[in-house]
Amino acid sequence: MNAESDPQHIRFAVLAADVAVFTMREGKLLVRMMKVERPPYFPNHRGLPGGLIHPKEIAEDTARRIIEDRARIAPKKVHLEQLYTFSEIDRDPRGRVVAVAYIGLVAWDQLSAEEQKDSPSTWWAPVKGTSRLAYDHDEILKVALNRLRSRIEYTTVISKLVRKEFTLTELEEAYECILGKSLDKRNFRKKILKLDILKEVSGKRTIGKFRPAQLYRFTSNSVQEIEIV
Amino acid sequence: MNAESDPQHIRFAVLAADVAVFTMREGKLLVRMMKVERPPYFPNHRGLPGGLIHPKEIAEDTARRIIEDRARIAPKKVHLEQLYTFSEIDRDPRGRVVAVAYIGLVAWDQLSAEEQKDSPSTWWAPVKGTSRLAYDHDEILKVALNRLRSRIEYTTVISKLVRKEFTLTELEEAYECILGKSLDKRNFRKKILKLDILKEVSGKRTIGKFRPAQLYRFTSNSVQEIEIV
DNA sequence: CCAAAAGTGTTATGACTACACCCATGA
DNA sequence: TCATGGGTGTAGTCATAACACTTTTGG
């Protein structure tokens, strides 16, 4: 019998979950930040919401709890996907903490006034220009963005960032915002409609004093794997 | 100060790494198995190589150590990619163990005679027909296979499963084996050559008594993201 | 009638699919 | 010369990319 099969000798590590919750407002991608008060390492600092995994919790439930308690957002509104597990020895200066990182996506219009609002403890920050975060959260955010970018190209995850009913222009802007490049309006429409993942809904939306736009919604509520963009 | 900021109250979980090491022999995908002796839960059972993360180890190094000590393969030969972190409460009947799972890829011809050989403690098993593994390893293997399938379609990971110099027929068979479908020889060759990821090498290989085949190798040693198949 | 966003079609180019025969070799 | 795997080309179809003007609306 070796050391590991004897429970007395089992080695422990601290396990945490960190979450990069994204939303989109006025064509800008935002990420949820929280205050990190960890003197002397991170006095008056900021980072992604995170916390330790409880003994009777799967990592995804930890992520949900953190979204609720730390990010102050109702977790059932947030679409979660596991991102990567970060286990660098010194990623937390207080000791060995391994973090299972998640990506969270939520549509801005699904958020309550409270959830949209910024507070001293948690707030929305534009992704562009967000850096110098506590722990290894710069790295986590970078990996999360890369994953988000690649996933919108072959899945329908973008459905979790736009409102339930949207115009094709809004959808195109969401793609452009995450991909960081502009798309051809006519080609985008042809392509997205041919995929057969959207359905027209009866209403139209008027923005300002101009021509109203047809509204659409995703036919399926679940994230599907298809070739987009 | 809340409970989590007080080191006395930090909650611990057991962390492990599990590895699905794949290789390919005679057009069949094999996965490395090990004996699991955990009475009364898994007497005389089998599973993927796995073990606990040491305090001063990143998860990937744990995976390498397990590949060396448990799977009995020189870890530097194995290409590793993090797969997913499994944290179901009861995935290990002995207690709470969270596993960071990895995919390992190694070319059969890179293995020594010892490494190719099966022993009572660790052996190669054809992926097709491998099931009823210990812990949640059926699930891990399933997720690993899905990931492997999708990754060979948009990266050059297959380079880690074929020998350094290979014929186009060998490469095509490797794709067919993992994708589980046959490809058109002419179309496959046109496509793979146009991608500009292979270079001809001077030699030819004769199999049996027939016409010798041109040898190729991947131009880059690293796994690249490109649209294949 | 003006300003602004919504909406729409064509053409050229390149990629993909389907498909069948000749070539080189060793026995 | 035969058996076997190696190697190649074309035509039809489909997807992509580039590109500009008309429509609808409220003020």
Per-residue model confidence (pLDDT) at position B13 = 63
Q: Which nucleotides of C are covered by protein (CB under 7 A)?
A: 3-10, 15-20, 23-27
Alpha-carbon distance A18 to A103, whole Å? Answer: 9
Alpha-carbon distance A79 to A130, whole Å? Answer: 22
Instruction: Provide the CA B106 to C1' D13 distance, Å, integer.
Output: 40
User: In the predicted model, what is the mean pLDDT of residues B149-168?
Assistant: 97
**Interchain CB distance below 8 Å, A13 and B13:** yes
Per-residue model confidence (pLDDT) at position A3 = 36
Per-residue model confidence (pLDDT) at position B11 = 45
User: In the predicted model, what is the mean pLDDT of residues A74-82?
Assistant: 98
Secondary structure of B147-194 as H, E, C letters: HHHHHHHHECHHHHCCCCCECHHHHHHHHHHHHCCCCCHHHHHHHHHH
Burial status of residue B176 (CB atoms within 10 A of its CB: 0-12, 13-18, 19 or more): middle
**Interchain CB distance below 8 Å, B15 and A10:** no
Query: Which chain B residues contact residue A98 at CB under 8 A?
Result: 15, 53, 59, 100
pLDDT over 90 (residue A198): yes
Q: Which residue has the higher pLDDT, A35 or A4?
A: A35
β-strands B97-105, B14-25 pairing: parallel
Per-residue model confidence (pLDDT) at position B59 = 98
Instruction: Provide the CA A187 to C1' D16 distance, Å, integer.
Output: 9
Per-residue model confidence (pLDDT) at position A5 = 38
- Dihedrals φ, ψ of B142, to 5°? -65, -45
pLDDT over 70 (residue B228): yes
A181 touches strand D (CB under 7 A): no
Per-residue model confidence (pLDDT) at position B10 = 42
Query: Residue A40: is the preceding peptide bond cis (ω within 30°)?
Result: yes
pLDDT in tens, A100-124: 999 999 999 999 999 999 999 999 9
Alpha-carbon distance B65 to B74, whole Å? Answer: 9
% pLDDT > 70, chain B? 94
pLDDT over 80 (residue B23): yes
Alpha-carbon distance B56 to B15, whole Å? Answer: 12
Q: Which nucleotide is nearest to A229 (CA to C1')?
A: D16
- Quote the tokens at residue A104: 């969270």
Q: Nearest 5°: CA angle at A35, between A29 and A40?
A: 135
% pLDDT > 90, chain B? 84
CA distances from B124 to A112, A118, B22, B99, B117 (A): 55, 55, 9, 22, 8
Instruction: Provide the CA A127 to C1' C8 distance, Å, integer.
Output: 35
| Closest C-alpha among B178, B181, B141, B133 to residue B159 | B178
- Chain A's closest residue to B91, CA to CA, is A58
Per-residue model confidence (pLDDT) at position B41 = 87
pTM confidence score: 0.93
**B34 vs chain A: nearest CA distance in angstroms?**
15
Alpha-carbon distance B21 to B71, whole Å? Answer: 9
pLDDT band, residue A13 (cuts 50/70/90): low
Which ranges constitute the DSSP H helices of chain A?
A: 59-69, 113-116, 137-154, 168-179, 185-194
Residue B53: DSSP 8-state? P
User: In the predicted model, what is the mean pLDDT of residues A174-194?
Assistant: 97
Per-residue model confidence (pLDDT) at position A208 = 85
Strands (E) located in chain A: 14-25, 28-38, 42-47, 50-52, 79-86, 97-105, 122-126, 198-205, 213-218
pLDDT in tens, B127-155: 999 999 999 999 999 999 999 999 999 99
- Quote the tokens at residue A187: 């080609």
Per-residue model confidence (pLDDT) at position A9 = 40
Contact B30, B24 (CB under 8 A): yes
pLDDT in tens, B46-96: 999 999 999 899 999 999 999 999 999 999 999 999 999 999 999 999 889
